[in-house]
Amino acid sequence: MKLTNGFEVEVDEKALDDWEVMEIVCELDGEKYMRLPDLFITLLGNEQYQALKKHLKEHSESGRCTTTDMSAALAEIFDGLKAGKK
């Protein structure tokens, strides 16, 4: 699936039915935000995770991979999975 920031990502549709993903999401609901990187790595794998961060840095006015951009990417990934996109 192609994110609105231009980054192309491939995520297994079965990620929504992955218990480890659920555990991390539950911890995030408990405000354990330090698990966000784990969620990205579990969904995308480390290689795509690093590539996404690099892409966001390269396309940012500040040259940073911002929390706002990563949050938007994560929301799009989940929306895409729900819609059945890879």
DSSP string, 43-62: HHHHHHHHHHHHHHHHT-SS
Could you give the CA distance from residue 86 to residue 83 in angstroms, rounded to a whole number? 9
Q: What is the pLDDT of the chain when averaged over all its residues? A: 89
pLDDT of residue 11: 86
pLDDT of residue 29: 79
Indicate whether 84 pLDDT > 70.
yes
User: pTM for this structure?
Assistant: 0.78
